[in-house]
Amino acid sequence: MYAVIKSGGKQYKVSTGDVVKLEKLAAEEGKEVVFNEVLALDDVIGTPLVAGASVKAQVLKQTRDDKIIVFKKKRRQNYRRKNGHRQSITLVKITDILGK
């Protein structure tokens, strides 16, 4: 059984037992989070959401993702800017997928 959930403006296909890397959620480590925005559940596709469906997950860790380098350059203009960015993320483990 799988579900497609929406979190942080992105969509994730999850099933029970998966560990998913999401944008930062406002929850402490060890707490349970419920995702009510379920876009699809197995072969049922919502319009836009599946009524009565939810996904339960447990927060494993609040951390930061790997650094990415942002490099801007305009040729022949002596313009170069180098910047780094680390996104805050939340690791969650999907514990249960609830249907209707």
The total of other beta-carbon atoms located within 10 Å of residue 62's CB is 15
pLDDT more than 70, % of the chain: 100
Residue 59, pLDDT score = 97
Q: How does pLDDT run across 21-38, given as a tens digit for each residue?
A: 999 999 999 999 999 999
Q: How does pLDDT run across 55-83, given as a tens digit for each residue?
A: 999 999 999 999 999 999 999 999 999 99
- In sequence order, the 6+-apart residues with CB closer than 8 A to the CB of 5 are 11, 12, 14, 35, 37, 38, 39, 55
pLDDT band with cut points at 50, 70 and 90 for residue 99: confident
Model's pTM, two decimal places? 0.84
Q: Read off the pLDDT of each residue in 7-25 and give the average, rounded to a whole number.
A: 96
